[in-house]
Amino acid sequence: MKSIPRNLVIISVLIILRTGSVCSQVLPVDFTNSFYPGKEKSETGNSTLPIGIGVASFFYLLNPVALFQNDKIGGGLTKEISLGFGYFGEHRIAAEYSYIFREGSSSHFRLGYKYDILLKDKLRPSNLLQGTSVISLGASYFYDLEYHGVSPEISYGYSIRNDKLLIYPNLKLRYTYIPEGENIIDFSMGLMIGFANPFIDLKIRRKN
């Protein structure tokens, strides 16, 4: 009778070993994926991070511009910097340089004034960054090392700003009138970084 439990134990062990052998042949287990189910997803996310940084850096440094002049379409790169005044830096003096991919008149210089119409209601001056949609109207002096002109423009975007800093991704449409040359219509998009009220303390304090 004492041998019966021993036999049952031996039989049970053999059954368990046999079952494990069958399962291992039918259902192989990838312990790496089992213990780290999100590994592939995180690796995919990490691989897209450099691409995102590269795109953001491109739009931060240089913005694409397309122009129509003399019945021809051209393209190039442009960059604008601005200096604003007022509680929101809404009055801006801006300088812009554009390089056009063509022979002759490839460098465009502009200096002008911009006014930002803030579309968010009840926006109050603050040291904190605030976001709002913006329509910007402006005009600038144009020079391409050969001809002079004037450039009225309109742009639309979303600005993040306070009394010292402006981050402004936008779309811009502009017409350049050149009295002694061919007029230009150009369209650009990208990110503009500006500063406001240098060396001026507007004494804006956050109210708790």
pLDDT, mean over the chain: 79
Q: Cβ(69)–Cβ(182) under 8 Å?
A: yes
Could you report the per-residue pLDDT of 16-51, keeping only the tens digit for each?
445 444 444 444 444 444 444 444 444 444 557 666
Residue 171 has pLDDT above 50, yes or no: yes
Structure tokens given for 48:
């897209």
Q: What's residue 127's pLDDT?
A: 82
Q: Cβ(177)–Cβ(66) under 8 Å?
A: no
Tell me which residue of 171, 159, 156, 155 sits closest to 63, measured CA to CA. 171
Domains of the chain: 3-53 (no CATH), 63-196 (2.40.160)
Could you report the per-residue pLDDT of 75-115, keeping only the tens digit for each?
999 999 999 998 888 999 999 999 999 888 899 999 999 99
Residues 152, 139: Cα–Cα separation, whole Å: 4
User: How confident is the model over 60-84, as a mean pLDDT?
Assistant: 91
Helix and strand numbers (H, E) in the chain are: 3, 8
Residues 148, 110: Cα–Cα separation, whole Å: 10
Could you report the per-residue pLDDT of 143-164, keeping only the tens digit for each?
999 999 999 999 999 999 988 8
Chain centroid, CA 141 distance in Å:
28
Looking at residue 97, its amino acid is: Y
Q: What's residue 79's pLDDT?
A: 93
Residues 153, 172: Cα–Cα separation, whole Å: 7
Could you report the per-residue pLDDT of 174-196, keeping only the tens digit for each?
999 999 999 999 999 998 889 98
